Structure 1
Amino acid sequence: MARRIIIDTDPGIDDILALLLALSAKPEEVELLLISLTFGNIEVQNCLRNVVSMFHILERETQWRRENGRSEGFGTMRAFRPVVAVGAQDPLEDQKMLADYFHGTDGLGGIHASHPHLAPSQAWEHLFDPATDPNGIQSVRTGGDLGDHSFIPSKLPAYKEILRALRENEPDSVTLLWRPQRIPETFLRVKEVVVMGGAVNEPGNVSHIRKHPADPYPNLNQVENLQVTPVGEFNAYADAFAAARQLTLRLFPLDITLRHNISRGQFRKAVTPLLEKGSPLAEWVNAFMGHTFRTLERLHPGHVGDDAQLSLHDPVCVWYALTSEDPHWAPAPNSPEDIRIETTGQWTRGMCVVDHRNRHRIEGDEESSSDHGLWLSARAGNRIYRMDKSPAESNFGQVIIDKLFG
């Protein structure tokens, strides 16, 4: 039976690559039940536009491959129509922080303005707006005006669609790929919660960026007030209060995702012949990946030319969902660990705090005078399997290329 997954995401460049990876699987490998969209890298409405654009491009790519006698690929997309629903627009607490200084205001490096011929029309927007439903029936189960297309738009909030999907599937049959947010008790029906976030033994990736007067992307000039932190990973930092409320899960921190990369030269070599032959998918991905590699050169002086490396954070989680039975996946030796997210520290917000002390655990939930926060309680706290090894560290860029374009 295909693995059933739900992806909660904020696309975003690597998030789009993660979705493409999931949709490119064979139908016997995975069934993508739902794409839940939330703020994060960018505002949620831009996330929605990017996902609709992705399906638009994949439909064009399928037609192009069919006309050119190529294997259509993307079997999961063609076999199953995932629901697309809009989720959280703001963090649980504190001021919203976005990563548009890296991804671009629209999340894909300004692609909707620079390549308008690749964007869908705006006619799809009403399909996600509850106010446009005169009968008050909020969920579009038949696909509405997109009946012949590759996804089902929903007018319900994403969390309601997630709960519906969990109710309609057997307990322990759905894997949830989740951004750090609240996890309602009903989510205990899931087989596994997989989260990309945090950094344990790696430095964080939330940093102050200086103004660059000649920079063509105005949003880079809007980050003067970012708080500097040497330890916070973006997902954990951007909504630290939500990231602190976790249950048993598998965590993919920067410690593992930074070892899964694709180089500019590797990508260019694969995509150039497809561009010459007219692949819509190659043109679309090349547009936002070009922005990404240029941004890497500006922000990281050592990342230049064909040697520039993009870390594929979110695709690693999808790859785990597709291949979790591979014995080369392994958690850190001390897993499960009680890992907490610092929420208020001036210099440590978003930091993963791990209790490395070898101390005797206390039975029961009562907090003792020497154990503020229930760090030693055998029943309280988080039980997190921090993933440390994968079957594709040395060639993950090629895995992505083969799945998307092979």
Structure 2
Amino acid sequence: MPEKKKIIIDTDPGIDDILGLLLALSAKPEEVEILLISLTFGNIEVRSCLRNVVSMFHIIDREMRWRKEHGKEEGFGALRASKPIVAVGAEEPLEDQRMLADYFHGTDGLGGIHASHPHLTPSQTWEHLFDPSADPSEIDTVKCDGNEAAHQSFIPSKKPAHQEILRVLKENDAGSVTLVAVGPLTNLALAAAEDAETFLRVKEVVVMGGTVNQPGNVTPVGEFNAYADAVAAARVYALTSPMPASTLPPTRSEKLPPYPAKLSKQLTLRLFPLDITLRHNMTRGQFRQTVTPLLEAGSPLAEWVSAFMAHTFRTLESLHVGHEGDAASLSLHDPVCVWYALTADDKRWTPSSNSPEDIRIESSGQWTRGMCVVDRRNRHRIDSEVASSNDHGHWLSTRAGNRIWRVDGSPVEHDFGDILMQRIFG
């Protein structure tokens, strides 16, 4: 039997982020332990991300009670076995101007659900749980529908998310924790800048971001997560190099010092760019077939997810040709990264034929910010740590450059939408 995975999820929820979190939390307790959910700006502002996560836990609590009352299995075994810590992180990118994706996800990140379905949203009496200046003796409570009770599904942290990432990595055996990053990489870059050696205790970092052979989704060459904080992405990618200084981006911030000249190891980074995530989809028809009977039966989770998914499919119809009716299709960018973390032992997850690849993130280009830059020239490699006159940027050096494992083969490409629905709704 595969060993139980320990994971951190760094996220900016977000519609597909929430689906990814539900996928992880609905796993069996022997499959995974979610140690930490760290939040970053990205799709929306980080405080809205926090509100969405707290709402998700509230809905899961209601769903488990509903299932129990109706003689169904409660599900969400991983959550019932171990409460994850929730920590609030970066509010803005390291250097660039902040960009959000609320045009797709809605201003609250979930298609306006907090205004359209207020009965599904807990009142914001929980905010003090994450306030470092709040009285620690206050009871950790969440109020909804006029009722107040101690929250039992997560542990709130008053520390910044990047410090919680370092604490979790320090307190667990080196090489035992996978970090799944499905938003901008700001929290990861801050953690690595503060303590690179502790950060390198991670087993691997699974990144949803970038695009190599596909067009970008926010610019012709830029994918949203890489674009939203290109400096952070470039700094995290640099840790995969035997010589991080060879790919470290220029920076204007004193808070981002160079990495130590000598590090104990290289970071293992497993990249899920648009090239593979666009091949994992769920149609409105698939979603409707699963959720309609549950809606009719009164499932709180089905009602909540249906509310923001209705917004999603309407947005897809308005933005893209061919997304009409039941054929409207949502790419499951973030859930597929979570699924990899749960099933990494499956040998059908395969890297690109060129892996590990020297993929770098452009951090300062006028039109190319967030671009995944790959050397496609047919040139001889150079066995040297010193860049020669014909190797500006150490692109040909066998001892420098990044080492990125780009995932290209998937065991669930054609049926992942059905797997996701079955896992979440049982």
Aligned length, in residue pairs: 378
Q: Which residue of structure 2 lines up, in the alignment, with residue 173 of structure 1?
A: 176
Which amino acid in the other structure matches residue 118 of structure 1? L
Which amino acid in the other structure matches residue 291 of structure 1? H
The structural deviation recorded for 1:344 is 2.4
The structural deviation recorded for 1:375 is 1.5
Q: Is the 8 A contact 2:58 2:122 kept in 1?
A: yes
Which of 186, 189, 214 does residue 202 from structure 1 map onto? 214
The TM-score with structure 1 as length reference comes to: 0.90
The structural deviation recorded for 1:358 is 4.1
The structural deviation recorded for 1:367 is 2.4
Q: Is the 8 A contact 2:126 2:140 kept in 1?
A: no
Q: Distance in 2 between matches of 1:343 and 1:355?
A: 16
Range with bigger deviation, 197-206 or 347-356: 347-356
The structural deviation recorded for 1:177 is 0.8
Q: Distance in 1 between matches of 2:84 and 2:136?
A: 24
Identity fraction in percent: 73
3-state DSSP class of the match of 1:386? strand
2:156 aligned with 1:153, yes or no? yes
The structural deviation recorded for 1:199 is 0.6
The structural deviation recorded for 1:131 is 1.4
The structural deviation recorded for 1:362 is 3.2
The structural deviation recorded for 1:148 is 4.7
Q: Which residue of structure 2 lines up, in the alignment, with residue 213 of structure 1?
A: none
The TM-score with structure 2 as length reference comes to: 0.86
Q: Structure 2, unaligned stretches of length 5 or more?
A: 143-149, 241-268
The structural deviation recorded for 1:371 is 1.6
Q: Which residue of structure 2 lines up, in the alignment, with residue 321 of structure 1?
A: 341
2:231 aligned with 1:241, yes or no? yes
The structural deviation recorded for 1:364 is 4.4
3-state DSSP class of the match of 2:43? coil
Q: Is the 8 A contact 2:214 2:274 kept in 1?
A: yes
The structural deviation recorded for 1:366 is 2.3
Q: Distance in 2 between matches of 1:164 and 1:292?
A: 36
- What do you get for the CA RMSD once the two structures are aligned? 1.5
The structural deviation recorded for 1:198 is 0.4
3-state DSSP class of the match of 2:42? coil
Q: Distance in 2 between matches of 1:381 and 1:42?
A: 33
The within-5 A match list for 1:291-370 is 291-370=311-390
Q: Distance in 2 between matches of 1:48 and 1:364?
A: 47
Q: Distance in 1 between matches of 2:83 and 2:135?
A: 22
The structural deviation recorded for 1:373 is 1.6
Which of 246, 271, 275 does residue 255 from structure 1 map onto? 275
2:60 aligned with 1:70, yes or no? no
Which amino acid in the other structure matches residue 113 of structure 1? A
CA offsets 1:260-292 (integer angstroms, 9 cap, x no match) = 000001101110000000000000000000000
Q: Structure 1, unaligned stretches of length 5 or more?
A: 207-228
Which amino acid in the other structure matches residue 359 of structure 1? R
Q: Distance in 1 between matches of 2:421 and 2:382?
A: 49
Which amino acid in the other structure matches residue 175 of structure 2? D
Q: Is the 8 A contact 2:20 2:335 kept in 1?
A: yes
The structural deviation recorded for 1:9 is 0.3
3-state DSSP class of the match of 2:310? helix
The structural deviation recorded for 1:238 is 1.2
